Amino acid sequence: MVSIDTTPIGDLWARVFGTQPAPEAWLVYVTAAVALLVVVPRPLWRLSRNAITIAHEGGHGLIALVTGRRLDGIRLHSDTSGLTVSRGKPTGLGMILTAAAGYTAPPLLGLGGAWLLAAHHITLLLWVTTALLLAMLVMIRNAYGALTVILTGAAFLLISWLTGPDVQAAFAYACVWFLLLGGVRPAFELQSKRRYGHAGDSDADQLGRLTHVPPALWLFLFHAVSLCSLIGGGRWLLEL
């Protein structure tokens, strides 16, 4: 009988699904400060917002597939806007959930990431994120979008594969803080655009037409999800 050495597979399984040591408290606070630094100043936000757009459009695409719609493609643009095109019934629950998934996806992903980090699954978080980015890459339909997703996915893959626990922890906590904090700002930006009549075809307005519920109430939902995710995720990360 030939013996097959499965140790490498077992080591990989343990590395991905095992737990890692909790970082020092100072690192959690420092990564929160770094995330805040790239979210608040407008020049840095114009660059970092690309990552929020990836999560936003990925949310649209994922829920479109889950609800049985046909996903035709996703485009990411250099002005940090994006477009997700799906086919199916133009009304109904599937379309409503798909439209509502964009602004809620980044904070909810941050909340899920905070839950994994609170359980000390740092490497698993990095690998799951890499897998989601790889799956999204298949549906990207423009060069800028493909480049953005490839570079983001490469960063997660290299950090998870080549670095030690301390670097992985710092990167993972910074990313989750960024999703939680960065997930709050787009709803306020949308609110400002709607106030001046510059967002007539926004997700909130589309949801208003689909449900006959005022867009302002959908905007309130976006605010509620992002702020509650920030509070809940922040408590997990800070171990309060």
d(CA 53, CA 55) in angstroms, rounded, equals 5
44 phi, psi to nearest 5 deg: -70, -35
Q: Which of 198, 168, 186 is nearest to 227 (CA)?
A: 186
In the prediction, which pLDDT does 69 show? 94
Handedness of CA 137, 141, 142, 145 (dihedral sign): negative
Q: For position 7, what pLDDT does the model report?
A: 53
Tokens 């649209």 sit on residue: 60
- Residue pLDDT, tens place only, 109-121: 999 999 999 999 9
CA angle, residues 7, 13, 18, in degrees to nearest 5: 125
pLDDT at 18: 67
What's the Cα-to-Cα distance from 197 to each of 6, 54, 191, 192, rounded to whole Å? Answer: 61, 25, 10, 9
Return the pLDDT at 197: 76
The confidence score (pLDDT) of residue 72 equals: 94
pLDDT at 5: 46
Is pTM beyond 0.85? Reply is: yes
Per-residue confidence of the chain (240 residues) as pLDDT tens digits? 444 445 566 666 666 666 778 889 999 999 999 999 999 999 999 999 999 999 999 999 999 999 999 999 999 999 999 999 999 998 899 999 999 999 999 999 999 999 999 999 999 999 999 999 999 999 999 999 999 999 999 999 999 889 888 999 999 999 999 999 999 999 999 999 888 877 778 999 999 999 999 999 999 999 999 999 999 999 999 987
CB atoms within 10 A of CB 211: 16
Give the model confidence (pLDDT) of 120-154 as tens digits.
999 999 999 999 999 999 999 999 999 999 999 99
